[in-house]
Structure 1
């Protein structure tokens, strides 16, 4: 891996070994589209979920939150995309609670998340509000000293099985992003229901319905009307790591393909002897390296406390380039394998389904391009 310190390389080696020996045997036990609770528990037992939130004195340093998250996701994705997704969803769903919850709310939920006994989810997207988060319509209506939530969320990872949801709701009508507030909502709250959705990507995802779900002031994350900031701070951290997830998938696909073309013979010689195959692999490896450089640069900018605009721009660049590159790499690796890669159960068949979604979630590629352009002009027009 590029530009890693000796301590970071040791950390990656430890995580890879742990993922292969402790996590991989637990995958596939819950069935596609369901939360694998034994897998999440194992992550807690072995300290992986603790590492999402600053970890222990182990390397890399505890203030390298974004870089650690990227190393975790990239390394585990190279072993098991199911395990990687379970890890990432725990972080995405619970980070707003850690970041913006009251001490009581943090104590209620975060220890269970770290142990792996509490499954978390990030509930932002709605049927008519995906990339345009300011258009959220889920209503939070005042009711004495609390609010009542009415509406629907869709394409929510870990729904409807999560134990706690970070939910973004509209507390002020017609106020755009300034009228959105974040809440921590228990999964067993009265009036909350949901169902699984069957998508191409095999990770757990579903729909949620809120029929007068009560949330109190203790469930508030941040300030009233400050939910958009809570969401964006979370995404600034997690977007580079989506790129890291893509890196892990692309690296796995490329490794499988290098093995395949070295042993598969055609026209009396290994496939690797054909110049078109060799040049394709050279291009894919170059794209992978370029993507890794962007992801690591974005993570280090976040950890170094770079200006907010730089963090936002570099995170968008990392997610955009790495997810688009990974899609190309996996697709070309399938092509070089031929029909066998499309057989159910082949590692590339799973990767082919997994690699598509990251170009959409946490801001589609088109949204990332808009963010990058906005930051470029903002920088240009700043004296």
Structure 2
């Protein structure tokens, strides 16, 4: 396996970093998606690994923007994949998502899901994001014929949004979406969407973890012999770097697989989530009491990294997906 990025992939990584430098400190989802479209980061034919390195680079500057792009792009790419056999008309239906004219949100929790009957949705989808005034939401309701993804425009009559004040990722709007007999557009299986979201959320986690490691390294170097040469600090930094690199390789493997695998995507998100959380914890130890100041980058990362655990599959669901695919093969 070639571990070097191609010229195109390296260019996408720089585009992601540039977008991170350009976005507002607490960027609204619409501005992130529009900026990504202008930068050429929204392409239905994208090499997924190129998008992974772009999201990772973006997360090192703006975790909220990276999570927004991961959710929007993962949902949009999944929709495009499901519409591949429906001709130009089918693909054109979601073209505004790739032009940055609309934002794709997705239901992130299975705790509360709507009911589908004869193509109409009723009930509530809990924890959908990123929500905007104009856009679509993709949900997977309960139905007599099994679970199928449905796309619904947020401005449709009968759709309500209850926004939630969150403790992290400022600018990313989360909320509960209610449906009162709303006719949805059936898309197909949820798996192609979830695979891409999990891989891209893993990339966002890698970026957060690497930013935490960078801050810890800067603190250690500034302290010179008092910290940089101290064995405990060296161990903390080495452990964080090792775990982040291992998670990065798993994420790259998942993104480069053909065909994409829910097991690989779930494993990548598991590893990246754990590595990012531990990198932030170790950075807190290295930076020390300064990280307790409100607004300090480590304080913000400690809040933002929690979204990795909560969004697009909790740890138990990820482990179940890995076990379902891997264990039968090895039996």
- Normalised to the residue count of structure 1, the TM-score between the two structures is 0.78
**Equivalent in the alignment of 2:186:** 220
Instruction: Return the alpha-carbon distance in structure 2 between the equivalents of residues 10 and 81 of structure 1.
Output: 20
Relative to structure 1, the CA distance from residue 252 to residue 12 in structure 2 (aligned partners, 3 Å threshold; closer, same or farther) is farther
1:272-291 → structure 2 map (5 Å cutoff): 272-291=228-247
Aligned match for 1:248, one of 194, 204, 207: 207
Structure 1 outlier segments of 4+, above 6 Å: none
3-state secondary structure, aligned to 2:228 = helix
Contact 2:141 2:148 in 1 (8 A): yes
Relative to structure 1, the CA distance from residue 118 to residue 180 in structure 2 (aligned partners, 3 Å threshold; closer, same or farther) is same
**Equivalent in the alignment of 1:24:** 21
Instruction: Return the alpha-carbon distance in structure 2 between the equivalents of residues 188 and 212 of structure 1.
Output: 14
**Equivalent in the alignment of 1:95:** 77
**Equivalent in the alignment of 1:226:** none
**Equivalent in the alignment of 2:116:** 140
Contact 1:92 1:122 in 2 (8 A): no
Relative to structure 1, the CA distance from residue 70 to residue 122 in structure 2 (aligned partners, 3 Å threshold; closer, same or farther) is same
**Equivalent in the alignment of 1:164:** 136
Q: Report Cα offsets for 1:244-301 as digits up to 9, x if no partner.
A: 2111111111111101111136xxx431121111111111111111111211122222
Aligned match for 1:187, one of 136, 154, 167: 154
- CA shift, 1:355, in A, is 0.9
- CA shift, 1:313, in A, is 2.5
- CA shift, 1:344, in A, is 2.3
1:259-278 → structure 2 map (5 Å cutoff): 259-264=218-223, 269-278=225-234
Aligned match for 2:315, one of 365, 374, 380: 365
Q: Report Cα offsets for 1:161-180 as digits up to 9, x if no partner.
A: 451112222331xxxxx512
Instruction: Return the alpha-carbon distance in structure 1 between the equivalents of residues 213 and 181 of structure 2.
Output: 49
RMSD: 2.3
Q: Report Cα offsets for 1:111-151 as digits up to 9, x if no partner.
A: 221221211111363544xxxxxxx5x22222xxxx32110
Contact 2:220 2:228 in 1 (8 A): yes
**Equivalent in the alignment of 1:60:** none
Instruction: Return the alpha-carbon distance in structure 1 between the equivalents of residues 109 and 279 of structure 2.
Output: 28
Relative to structure 1, the CA distance from residue 377 to residue 25 in structure 2 (aligned partners, 3 Å threshold; closer, same or farther) is closer
1:1-383 → structure 2 map (5 Å cutoff): 3-7=3-7, 10-12=10-12, 14-19=14-19, 23-28=20-25, 35-50=28-43, 53-55=44-46, 64-65=47-48, 67-101=49-83, 102=86, 103-108=88-93, 110-123=94-107, 125-128=109-112, 136=113, 138-142=114-118, 147-159=119-131, 161-172=133-144, 179-202=146-169, 203-215=172-184, 219-222=185-188, 230-264=189-223, 269-301=225-257, 304-305=258-259, 311-381=261-331
For structure 1, the residue ranges without an aligned partner over 5 or more in a row are 56-63, 129-135, 173-177, 223-229
Relative to structure 1, the CA distance from residue 86 to residue 290 in structure 2 (aligned partners, 3 Å threshold; closer, same or farther) is same
Relative to structure 1, the CA distance from residue 70 to residue 333 in structure 2 (aligned partners, 3 Å threshold; closer, same or farther) is same
3-state secondary structure, aligned to 1:140 = strand
Instruction: Return the alpha-carbon distance in structure 2 between the equivalents of residues 99 and 25 of structure 1.
Output: 30
Contact 1:262 1:271 in 2 (8 A): yes
3-state secondary structure, aligned to 1:11 = helix
For structure 2, the residue ranges without an aligned partner over 5 or more in a row are none
Count of residues in correspondence between the two structures:
325
Contact 1:291 1:318 in 2 (8 A): yes
3-state secondary structure, aligned to 1:49 = coil
Contact 2:212 2:298 in 1 (8 A): yes
**Equivalent in the alignment of 1:175:** none
Instruction: Return the alpha-carbon distance in structure 1 between the equivalents of residues 78 and 95 of structure 2.
Output: 14
